Amino acid sequence: MQYQSQAVAKPYFIAAIALFVGQIIFGLIMGLQYVVGDFLFPEIPFNVARMVHTNLLIVWLLFGFMGATYYLIPEESETELFSPKLAIITFWVFLAAGVATIIGYLAVPYATLAKFTGNDLLATMGREFLEQPLPTKVGIVIVVLSFIFNVIMTMLKGRKTAISLVLVLGLIGLAVFFLFSFYNPHNLVKDKYYWWWVVHLWVEGVWELILGAILAFVLIKVTGVDREVVEKWLYVIITMTLITGIIGTGHHYYWIGAPAYWQVWGSVFSALEPIPFFMLTIFAFNMVNKRRREHPNKAATLWALGTGVMAFLGAGVWGFLHTLAPVNYYTHGTQLTAAHGHMAFYGAYAMVVLTIISYAMPILRGRAANSNKAQVVEMWSFWLMTVAMVFITLFLTAAGVLQTWLQRISTTPMSFMATQDSVAIFYWMREGAGVVFLIGLIVYITSFFIKGETKAT
Amino acid sequence: MAILYILQVIYINREIAMATRFTKSMARNIFFGGSLFFFLLFLALTFDTNQKLPKRDNSQNLTASVIHGKKLWETNNCIGCHTLLGEGAYFAPELGNVYVRRGPDFIKAWIKAQPTGAPGRRQMPQFNFTEQELEDLVQFLKYTSEINTNNWPPNIEG
């Protein structure tokens, strides 16, 4: 690696992968509970498994984003990190907080956890994805602020590139919008309205800046295409992201008590949300086609191209499927949402973190790229996980379409549970695809331990 | 106006493909200008939404009991299995309209009877609520069912 302090990225990446494994295991538990309802009950009720599954996802992606930032900011700024020591301290604080929170979820009933962690002082818990106890939420704020401080101080003393500027803007947005997780009004409509300022403005807003910056960085490195071209693309993509995504928040405001005009604003703007993802795909393929060097790390290039395609399919196409208000009226809160959520999170965010890990990890371990043998195994894991996710999405989509029909459109609507029983076959198939995903993940981890001939960096 | 702006950005994007004189600093300026414009528009719509909410959000019925019910809803992580106005987990029935679908007595009896223990069936934990707490939860669900949701869900099954 070019700068010694880039090494702090390594523990972040390792933690990210470890937590990823946990996420998938709990995903499989939930998937089985969908069809064998009393599996692990009362030890791990579904709501606990789901909390662990989604919270682990958020935490491992944050570890991934932070690791990516610590890796690329010194190289972009052409200077050592402002404080590697601070980066390591915040790593351990974040890991301890994350693990303690997960143990808390699993060890005691949620109401007990709320009681002993100060939820009576400031009630923030028990809202989807923001289930973390107050100390954890405060911890996240402190860790993210110290992280952003470290990054900005590094940038100030070095070169300022568009990639690092966009990345930092994304990270600042992440921190600012997280503050809305502390706002929990008694009025349910307002609670839901501002809850989306964390959730939507993260994943369909500022996180896309982080995604774009990381992808642009890796593409410059593996293709050798001129920085001017890459950064111009980056700006145009994130422009489209924010001008469609900010008002696109409206697609969550159709049925929660907000005025009906959101059906128009939300439909029009969120219908345009696939555009930046489509451009991301075109961008990735264009850069690779115009490459000026043959980088030895083929696996990283594959992940980068995969991110573009899967983000477009998952976030763009599957999002568009049910984003128009007249469609969403029937599909809102069905398995179709789950289908979209799975492929979008994997395609956009999980894959971009795996892209930067694929590119940076060999360099952090003292070689330009892994051996051919290791790369082949890694590429196998790419296909296993990605194809498994495509099938998870297809099965959930089938379940969602049927559910919508039986429960919402049919002239003799069935009850929720009767509908669930009718679509059980698709849950079984989803669980099967989930097992393949886990196999892919095991293959992925194996690839880190495969030796073979490598060139030094 | 907004649509014109988007069309313009799409057009400019085509220009990039043609490698014309569209520079990086122009791209950056459009990014900052466009994001700022749409964020301000979002704030304006939010302001207007807040003005209109009192007529729709049933906030006049936010009694102490409803507020306590909402807290019980949150501290027992009900959203981890159920949806409420379509948001949450998709493992258990929609509860935004459960007050209308089932009525207060059924809801209380149901919560008290859990878990059913039926082999292979989805299980809901026993939360050991007091009668007052059950009443607060029911009041919260009643309040929720009276929010103007633009006629969602499509039918009583949720």
Domain boundary among A127, A160, A193: A160
Is B157 part of any domain?
Answer: no
CATH of the domain at A236: 1.20.210.10
Q: Which residues pair with A456 in a beta bridge?
A: A367
Place of tokens 């003005």: B51
- Rounded CA-CA distance A239/A244 in Å is 8
pLDDT for the residue A454: 78
Residues 6+ apart with CB under 8 A from A290: A223, A225
pLDDT for the residue B5: 66
pLDDT band at A18 (very low <50, low <70, confident <90, very high): very high
| Number of domains, chain B | 2
pLDDT tens-digit series, residues A351-363 = 999 999 999 999 9
CATH of the domain at A149: 1.20.120
The string of DSSP letters for A55-77 reads HHHHHHHHHHHHHHHHHHHHHHH
Q: Are residues B48 and B118 in the same domain?
A: no
Q: Are residues A237 and A322 in the same domain?
A: yes
Percent of chain B past pLDDT 70, that is, above it, reads 87
Is B81 part of any domain?
Answer: yes
- Is the Cβ–Cβ distance between A35 and A65 less than 8 Å? no
Q: Give the best residue of A33, A35, A38 to mutate against chain B (max B CB count within 10 A).
A: A38
Give this complex's ipTM.
0.95
Domain boundary among B55, B77, B95: B55
Q: What angle do CA A30, A36, A37 make, to 5 degrees?
A: 75
pLDDT band at A453 (very low <50, low <70, confident <90, very high): confident
Is B150 part of any domain?
Answer: no
Is A105 part of any domain?
Answer: yes
| Number of domains, chain A | 2
Asked if B90 and A337 come within 8 Å (Cβ–Cβ), the reply is: yes
Q: What angle do CA B24, B27, B28 make, to 5 degrees?
A: 90
Q: Are residues B79 and B137 in the same domain?
A: yes
pLDDT tens-digit series, residues B133-157 = 999 999 999 999 999 999 999 999 9
- Rounded CA-CA distance A236/A279 in Å is 9
- Is the Cβ–Cβ distance between A383 and A20 less than 8 Å? no
Q: Are residues B25 and B94 in the same domain?
A: no
Chain B positions touching A334 (Cβ under 8 A) are 90
Q: Name which of A300, A241, A295, A293 is nearest A272 in CA terms.
A: A241
pLDDT at A378 over 70: yes
Quick one: DSSP state of residue A413?
Answer: P
What are residue A456's phi and psi, to 5 degrees? -70, 160
Is A334 part of any domain?
Answer: yes
* Residue B82, min C-alpha distance to chain A (Å): 9
Percent of chain A past pLDDT 90, that is, above it, reads 98
Domain boundary among A160, A194, A215: A160
pLDDT for the residue A291: 96
List of chain B residues with pLDDT < 70: 1-20
Is B34 part of any domain?
Answer: yes
pLDDT for the residue A265: 98
Asked if B9 and A45 come within 8 Å (Cβ–Cβ), the reply is: no
Residues 6+ apart with CB under 8 A from A145: A175
Q: What angle do CA A240, A241, A245 make, to 5 degrees?
A: 115
Taking the Cβ of residue A131 and every Cβ of chain B, the question of whether any pair is shorter than 8 Å is answered with: yes
Print the domain residue range for B115: 59-145
Look up residue A327 and give its two tokens: 């469609």
Q: Are residues B10 and B49 in the same domain?
A: yes
User: What is each CA distance from B99 to A219, A275, A303, in whole angstroms?
Assistant: 54, 41, 48
pLDDT tens-digit series, residues A85-135 = 999 999 999 999 999 999 999 999 999 999 999 999 999 999 999 999 999
pLDDT for the residue A144: 97
Q: Are residues A156 and A250 in the same domain?
A: no
Is A220 part of any domain?
Answer: no
Q: Are residues A142 and A248 in the same domain?
A: no
Minimal Cα distance from A269: which residue of B? B3
Q: Are residues B49 and B66 in the same domain?
A: no
Is B38 part of any domain?
Answer: yes
pLDDT tens-digit series, residues A219-252 = 999 999 999 999 999 999 999 999 999 999 999 9
Asked if A46 and B80 come within 8 Å (Cβ–Cβ), the reply is: yes
Place of tokens 């101080």: A153
Quick one: DSSP state of residue A249?
Answer: G
- Where does residue B106 fall: left (phi above 0), alpha (psi -120 to 50 degrees), or beta otherwise? alpha
- Rounded CA-CA distance B158/B148 in Å is 15
Q: Which residues pair with A367 in a beta bridge?
A: A456
Name the strand (E) or helix (H) holding B88.
strand B87-88
pLDDT for the residue A376: 97
User: What is each CA distance from A89 to A20, A86, A150, B115, in whole angstroms?
Assistant: 22, 5, 12, 44
pLDDT for the residue A1: 85
pLDDT for the residue A118: 96
Print the domain residue range for A398: 227-449
A365-380: average pLDDT: 96
Asked if A228 and B91 come within 8 Å (Cβ–Cβ), the reply is: no
- Is the Cβ–Cβ distance between A252 and B86 less than 8 Å? no
Place of tokens 């939930």: A30
Length of chain B: 158
pLDDT for the residue A212: 98
Q: Are residues B69 and B131 in the same domain?
A: yes
Q: Are residues A258 and A385 in the same domain?
A: yes
- Rounded CA-CA distance A315/A300 in Å is 21
Residue type, A209: L
Is B128 part of any domain?
Answer: yes
Is A63 part of any domain?
Answer: yes
Q: Name which of A265, A290, A281 is nearest A316 in CA terms.
A: A281
pLDDT for the residue A371: 96
Using CB atoms, which residue from B53, B75, B155 is nearest to A189? B53
Domain boundary among B38, B55, B72: B55
pLDDT for the residue A320: 98
Tell me how crowded residue A15 is: count the other CB atoms within 10 A of its CB: 22
Q: Are residues B50 and B63 in the same domain?
A: no
Is A176 part of any domain?
Answer: no
Q: Which of residues 32-71 of A touch B (CB under 8 A)?
A: 33-34, 36-38, 41-42, 45-48, 50-51
Is A373 part of any domain?
Answer: yes
Q: Are residues B30 and B68 in the same domain?
A: no
pLDDT tens-digit series, residues A46-71 = 999 999 999 999 999 999 999 999 99
Domain boundary among A160, A193, A216: A160
Q: Are residues A234 and A107 in the same domain?
A: no
Is B152 part of any domain?
Answer: no
Q: Are residues B42 and B66 in the same domain?
A: no
Asked if B9 and A188 come within 8 Å (Cβ–Cβ), the reply is: no
Is B158 part of any domain?
Answer: no
- Is the Cβ–Cβ distance between A443 and A377 less than 8 Å? yes
Residues 6+ apart with CB under 8 A from A396: A335, A336, A338, A339, A342, A426, A430
Percent of chain A past pLDDT 70, that is, above it, reads 100
Q: Are residues B65 and B116 in the same domain?
A: yes
A370-375: average pLDDT: 96
CATH of the domain at B119: 1.10.760.10
Give the count of Cβ contacts less than 8 A between chain A and B.
Answer: 243
Chain B positions touching A125 (Cβ under 8 A) are 74-75, 77
Q: Are residues B104 and B119 in the same domain?
A: yes
- Rounded CA-CA distance A53/A41 in Å is 17
A182-187: average pLDDT: 98
User: What is each CA distance from B142 to A293, B81, B96, B153, in whole angstroms?
Assistant: 65, 19, 8, 15
pLDDT tens-digit series, residues A407-416 = 999 999 999 9
Taking the Cβ of residue A247 and every Cβ of chain B, the question of whether any pair is shorter than 8 Å is answered with: yes
Is A183 part of any domain?
Answer: no
- Comparing B16 with A168, the larger pLDDT belongs to A168
pLDDT band at A256 (very low <50, low <70, confident <90, very high): very high
Chain B positions touching A177 (Cβ under 8 A) are none
Using CB atoms, which residue from B16, B127, B150 is nearest to A255? B150
Is A307 part of any domain?
Answer: yes
Q: Are residues B51 and B98 in the same domain?
A: no
Q: Is A270 helix (H, G, I), strand (E, B) or coil?
A: helix
Using CB atoms, which residue from B48, B77, B92 is nearest to A110? B77
